[in-house]
Amino acid sequence: MYKLIVALVKPEDTDEVVEAAREAGATGDVIIPGRGSGHKEAKAFFGLTIENQVEMLLFVVSEGCCERIINSINAVCNFEEPGKGLLFAIELEKVIGLQSQLKTNSSD
């Protein structure tokens, strides 16, 4: 069984989060830049709305290493603090295309 870990983080935290996830067992990632608002409203500057920049990091991982990867990511960002981002995992019903990553991971 596989899980999808999703982390919404500040761009300046991305490299450290990816490194922590890989050290904990993640074999790959997808990074999607975006904008978002959380518990605070977006700021305005001369009539222009300034939204917070975020990056969405996606990791498809085996169920056995999911908790370890989540703990490693949380150690970097401390998501319990307001404004730090969001971290969650969801079960994936079917995954096709990870065989090459699994072979790479097992040969290390």
* CATH assignment of the domain containing 19: 3.30.70.120
The residues that bridge with 31 in the sheet, in sequence order, are 57
- What would the pLDDT profile of 59-84 be if each residue is shown by its tens digit? 999 999 999 999 999 999 999 998 88
pLDDT surpasses 80 at 9: yes
Which residues constitute the domain of residue 31? 2-91
CA atoms of 61 and 81, how far apart (whole Å): 25
Asked if the structure places residue 102 within a domain, the reply is: no
Asked if the structure places residue 82 within a domain, the reply is: yes
Asked if the structure places residue 87 within a domain, the reply is: yes
Q: Say which residue, 41 or 29, is predicted with more confidence.
A: 29
Summary mean pLDDT of the chain:
87
Asked if the structure places residue 32 within a domain, the reply is: yes
Domain count, the chain: 1
- Round to the nearest angstrom and report the end-to-end CA distance of the chain: 22
Asked if the structure places residue 107 within a domain, the reply is: no
Please tell me the pTM assigned to this model: 0.82
